[in-house]
Structure 1
């Protein structure tokens, strides 16, 4: 049995760009609210909250919303069997019981992270890896 986490599942590079743009306003809001909570003055805000800072927030927000599957290693193998031509980028060991994975349609690739425990950490790691390897390139 698998569990699906996340809400963004772009099929094409064009959809990646559209969904990435859609999270832009949320990233700006989160950045602004964090600055408010940190009690930054207007001068400090203008100096420290750069376009690069908001861009990093958008990258992190987009990656954290990617749809991934979490299940036992056999479920991951079954997913691969459904797409035998897909390239597989596996992080971790096939000797553990569980995996988190995402299929990246526009690259025809699986990205996976294996784990024994701590699924939340595995999912977070997987999303960062997948974003860096495939989604960032699409942007």
Structure 2
């Protein structure tokens, strides 16, 4: 049961990361920033797919991010990038999103002990990815 909760968390976190990137990608005019965001997007999509497969192996359907949360995030990003579309502002937004994701992931990992090594590895990979994304975005601040 704990693995299922962790997998749902991973799925939602990676979906939210994906949504966050998609919400700013159109405003990212700097080629290096755009490349970094596209690479991060690919990583989130791969982890999202892995979490979905592991859930399906357990007979579960991945729980997605509610449409209202996605819409709210997109609207917030649209307003922020409209006011300031600079690479620095976009990087700041991404750092904030990844920091929230890391905080939630750490809390989740401390609450649920994984029974399956594949789930633990995926949770660890999510945490490492969020940390790496923050470091990468610091270069654009």
Q: What TM-score bracket applies, with the shorter chain setting the length?
A: 0.3 to 0.5
- Determine which structure has the larger helix proportion and give its number: 2
- Give the structure with higher Rg (CA): 1
* TM-score normalised per structure 2: 0.32
* TM-score normalised per structure 1: 0.32
| Higher-RCO chain (CA-CA 8 Å, sequence separation at least 6) | 2
